[in-house]
Amino acid sequence: MSGTSAPGGVVGAGDRPARRRPAWLDRIAALFGTLAVTLFGLLLVTFLIGRVVPVDPVLAVVGDRASQSTYDAAYIELGLDQTLFEQFRRYTARALSGDFGESLLTKRPILDDIRRAFPATLELATVAILIGTLVGVPLGVWAAVRQGTLVDQVVRVVGLVGYSAPIFWLGLLGLLLFYAKWGLVAGPGRIDIAYEYSFTPITGLLLIDTAVQGQWAAFRNVVSHLALPACLLGYFSLAYIARMTRSFMLAELGQEYIDAARIKGVSERRIVWVHALRNAAVPLVTVIALSYASLLEGSVLTETVFAWPGLGLYLTNSLLNADMNAVLGCTLLIGVIFVGLNLLSDLLYTLLDPRVRRGS
Amino acid sequence: MSTAGAGTGKGAGLREWLLSEQPASRRQARLGLGYRTWLAFRANGLGMVGLGIVTALILVAIFANVIAPHDPLIGGDLRTERLLPPSLDHLMGTDELARDIFSRVVHGARLTLLVVALVAIIATPIGLLVGTVAGYFGGIVDTVLMRLTDIFLAFPRLILALAFVAALGPGIENAIIAIAITSWPPYARLARAETLTIRRAEHIDAIRLQGASSGRIIWGHVMPLCLSSVIIRVTLDMAGIILTAAGLGFLGLGAQPPQPEWGAMIAAGRRFLIDYWWVATMPGLAIFVVSLGFNFLGDGLRDVLDPKADR
């Protein structure tokens, strides 16, 4: 992609530190500058991908039996007679107003489809990151405290296995064992059809919808569907979170304030879980936010395996049907979420770390 | 570090020569350093397991024709040999077209190695070039190139690869290109960071005073110094590359049938999962073992070569 270097005027905006203002304000301004440039880049990349598609976008709209005049009319309507720059300008304007065109598959606006699919992905990713954090952080702390022992080695191998196993394969094996063989969990999908209309969708997050309306049978069914994919995704984020927790904790435990606390007679448990962990938590927030973002990526394969009607499944279905509008809309949206979470973690970091906040 | 390992068994003389505190030549010093690195690496159990697995993968890929007992593409008798469970004749059973799964997995090693090697060959130079040029020139060049890098980093890797494959069309060549396009940004970042420290060095000033052009300095004096850390990073990434390729194959966007690509084999076996578990399980096991091997190897290498990180 070396030929796609962006026009010079836009790149590099808002990154120059000024003198007087507090450092954290500069930092936040710089972050938003970066955000604007990155979003522009996301638009440019998706636009260019849309341009290199070998599929003729006109034929995709009018079908290959259309007459020449219909073809020409559609050609002009799609704006393909304009210069590339003008096309990009229109694409940007439409994308910024939330218009990504219509899906060839569902005949609905892309944004509607995405709005419909997103809660499923959000629910799965949120439960997964909770599992990953609640298990991963203690594991990482434990490994750091017992550095070099068997516990440390086991945590390390658990992490490396998480990095190495193809998630779609583990998902299939999980379905084979826990669903087909032992019947411990429900199968693919989010909810059994028997429960699907027993409550009114409010948030689209089925756990909340069913619980609020007191539909406990449906709630249990949702949990049973959610358990396997959420544990799987949770395991994959756990691998990363535990590893990073371990190395942050090791850095903290080597500091002098830990020695000072020990000399004062603070209990070892308090030193590890309060003194050290609180400081390790600052960079850890970034790590957790990043793995939350990457769960969206991992969920493409997981959703395919579990027929989970979220963003990932929508994206793959559109891909297999050459529905480029939907593919690019999803790619752009996932990119935006990814950037947004990155920004959020940077902001949190700025607010949590007193050294950055005071700008020393 | 690969050259020195050969000498371990040749007696104490060579060992002493390698570990000598006063090397007589530059070659001896370099070999000695390699030998010490090897000794440190050898003490790392998981790293050695990883090295073993990766070596085995390479050997299997080279000798696939000799190792595979059956043809990977042409199956046996469709009436009697479909979906047979693992046995002595078919170590991993047969698939729905009566093909021997073990032979397909063995030949799949070639495809996996091909993907990893080509992605490394394409992505490493791009990352190295972007990173060194950005770091060496600084200023506006640096800003433009690094923002470009950030944009690529802003997409989750698999999503961007999916979008590229969707645009280019499915197939293993396009999958390789897509993965390479999504792999280079971290290498560019790393190369830039290295360049920023190198360009202040006195020997670079000396070369510049002799009148060398920027291109010559970057190509001849900056890039070689960045190369080793980038190569370590690529090794660490290889498991991720394998998993991405397998994911694309699983979605039907990578290697096309009848090619014995592991991800695509899992996708094919998915239909028979409940009654014929081995069809999808065996290729997945191969992916798992190989990427575990690369991860162990990368982890071990990092422990030895970069003692600061993660210890």
- Check residue A360 and give its pLDDT: 45
Query: For residue A6, what pLDDT is reported?
Result: 39
Task: Please provide residue A301's backbone torsions phi and psi, each rounded to the nearest 5 degrees.
Answer: -75, -40
Bigger pLDDT: A188 vs A83 = A188
- Count CA atoms within 13 Å of residue B152 on its CB side: 26
Supply the pLDDT for residue B56: 94
Q: Which of A12, A46, A327 sits opposite B147 (nearest CB)?
A: A12
The beta-carbon contacts of A6-12 under 8 Å, at least 24 apart in sequence, are A6/A40, A6/A41, A6/A44, A6/B144, A6/B147, A6/B148, A8/B140, A8/B144, A10/A37, A10/A40, A11/A37, A11/B143, A11/B144, A11/B147, A12/A37, A12/B140, A12/B143, A12/B144, A12/B147
Residues from chain A contacting residue B125 (CB–CB below 8 Å) = none
CA–CA gap between residue B311 and residue A106 (Å, rounded): 52
Q: What is the pLDDT of residue A191?
A: 86
- Is residue A308 helix, strand or coil? coil
In this model, does residue A139 exceed pLDDT 90? yes
Helix (H) or strand (E) holding B113: helix B101-137
In this complex, do A297 and B130 lie within 8 Å of one another by their Cβ atoms? no
**Paired residues of B94 in beta bridges:** B100
Which residue of A5, A49, A168 is the best one to mutate when testing the B interface, meaning the one whose CB has the most B CBs within 10 A?
A: A168
- Give tens-digit pLDDT for B73-107: 887 777 888 888 888 888 888 888 888 889 999 99
Nearest CB to B288 within list A42, A164, A327: A164
Confidence of residue B29 (pLDDT cuts 50, 70, 90): confident
Percent of chain B with pLDDT over 70: 95
- pLDDT, position A53: 66
Instruction: Give the minimum alpha-carbon distance from A187 to chain B in angstroms, rounded to a whole number.
Output: 12
Report the sign of the C-alpha dihedral through residues A240, A246, A249, A251, in that order.
Answer: negative
Q: What is the pLDDT of residue A1?
A: 36
Determine the Cα–Cα distance for residues B68 and B260; give it in Å rounded to an integer.
Answer: 12
CB-based burial, A18-44: b 16+ in 10 Å, e otherwise: eeeeeebebbbbebeebbebbbbbbbb
If you ran DSSP here, which 8-state letter would residue A179 be given? Answer: I
Task: Quickly state the pLDDT bin for B225 (edges 50, 70, 90).
Answer: confident
Give me the residue from A49, A169, A296 closest to B284, CB to CB.
Answer: A169
Contacts B145 to A, Cβ<8 Å: 5
Are A200 and A215 within 8 A, CB to CB? no
The confidence score (pLDDT) of residue A13 equals: 42
Whether a cis peptide bond, with omega within 30° of 0, leads into B185 is no
Instruction: List pLDDT tens digits, range B293-308.
Output: 999 988 888 877 765 4
User: What is the average per-residue pLDDT within A343-349?
Assistant: 79
CA B1 remoteness from chain centre: 17
Interchain contact, B266 vs A247, CB within 8 Å: no
Give the model's pLDDT for residue A347. 78
Q: What is the CA radius of gyration of chain B?
A: 23
Q: Say whether B168 and A168 touch across the interface (CB within 8 A).
A: no
CA distance B215 to chain A (A): 17
Q: What are A102's strand-pairing partners?
A: A109
Rounded Cα distance between B172 and B244, Å, is 12
Q: Are residues B159 and A315, on separate chains, in Cβ contact within 8 Å?
A: yes
CB < 8 Å to B155, chain A: 42, 45, 331, 334-335, 338
Do A300 and B280 lie within an 8 Å CB cutoff?
Answer: no
Our CA-based measurement puts residue B114 at a distance from the nearest CA of chain A, in whole angstroms, of: 19
pLDDT exceeds cutoff 90 at A94 = no
Mean pLDDT of chain B: 86
User: Long-range contact list for B85-88, CB < 8 A, 24+ apart?
Assistant: B85/B276, B85/B278, B86/B278
- Give the one of A11, A38, A54 whose C-beta lies nearest to B154's C-beta: A38
Residue A357: the pLDDT is: 64
Whether A5 and B148 lie within 8 Å, measured CB to CB: yes
Q: Give how far B130 is from chain A: nearest CA, Å.
A: 9
| Distance (Å) from the alpha carbon of A198 to chain B's nearest alpha carbon | 31
Within 13 Å, how many C-alpha atoms sit on residue B216's CB side? 8
Tokens of B194: 């290295």
pLDDT at B63 over 70: yes
In the numeric block, the tokens 């470009």 are attached to: B148
Which chain A positions have a beta carbon within 8 Å of B151's beta carbon?
37-38, 41-42, 44-45
Q: For residues A204 and A130, what is the distance between their CA atoms, to the nearest angstrom?
A: 19
Mean pLDDT in residue range A291-299:
77
DSSP conformational letter for A17: P
Residues of A in contact with B180 (CB under 8 A): none
Q: Which sign, positive or negative, has the C-alpha torsion B201, B207, B208, B213?
A: negative
* Dihedrals phi, psi of A260, to nearest 5 degrees: -60, -45
CB < 8 Å to B299, chain A:
160
CA dist B144 and B130 (Å) reads: 10
CA distance B104 to chain A (A): 17
Q: What is the pTM of this model?
A: 0.84
Question: Number of Cβ pairs closer than 8 Å across A and B?
Answer: 169
- Counting residues of chain A whose pLDDT is more than 70, the rounded percentage is 87
ipTM rounded to 2 decimals: 0.83
For residue B100, the cross-strand partners are B94
In chain A, where does DSSP find H-type helix?
Answer: 23-52, 57-62, 68-77, 84-96, 110-145, 150-164, 167-174, 206-212, 216-253, 256-264, 268-270, 277-306, 311-320, 324-352, 354-358
Distance CA A34, CA A12 (A): 8
pLDDT digits (tens, 9 = 90+) for A48-77: 887 766 666 676 666 667 777 877 877 777
The pLDDT tens digits of the residues spanning B241-252 come to 999 999 999 988
Is the pLDDT at A4 greater than 80? The verdict is no
Who among A41, A297, A315 is closest to B157 (CB)? A297
pLDDT at A124 over 90: yes
Q: What is the 3-state secondary structure (H, E, C) of A314-345?
A: HHHHHHHCCCHHHHHHHHHHHHHHHHHHHHHH
Q: Does the distance separating the beta carbons of A49 and B167 come in below 8 Å?
A: yes
Average pLDDT, integer, range A10-30: 59
pLDDT recorded at residue B123: 94
**pLDDT, tens digit (0-9, with 9 covering 90-100), for B256-279:** 888 899 999 999 988 888 888 888
Question: Is A334–B292 a contact, with Cβ atoms under 8 angstroms apart?
Answer: no
Asked whether the beta carbons of B198 and B223 are under 8 A apart, the reply is no
- Residue A2, min C-alpha distance to chain B (Å): 9
Q: Which of B160, B247, B270 sits opposite A166 (nearest CB)?
A: B247
Q: Three-state DSSP class for B283?
A: helix
Q: Is B212 exposed, middle or buried (0-12, 13-18, 19+ CB in 10 A)?
A: middle
Asked if A247's CB is within 8 angstroms of B310's CB, the reply is yes
Task: Give the tokens for residue B70.
Answer: 């059956």
Q: How far is A144 from chain B (nearest CA, A)?
A: 10
Judge whether B18 and B7 are in contact, CB under 8 Å: yes
What residues in A contact B247, CB-CB < 8 Å? 166, 168, 300-301
Length of chain A, please?
A: 360
Question: How much is the pLDDT for B97?
Answer: 84
Distance from CA of B243 to the nearest CA of A (A): 6
Q: Do the Cβ atoms of B168 and A54 come within 8 Å?
A: yes
CB B287, CB B262: distance < 8 Å: yes
Q: What is the pLDDT of residue A11?
A: 40
% of chain A at pLDDT higher than 90: 23
Nearest CB among B154, B294, B295 relative to A338 is that of B154
* Residue of B46, B154, B273 lying closest to A172 (CB–CB): B273
Give yes or no for residue B187 having a pLDDT over 70: yes
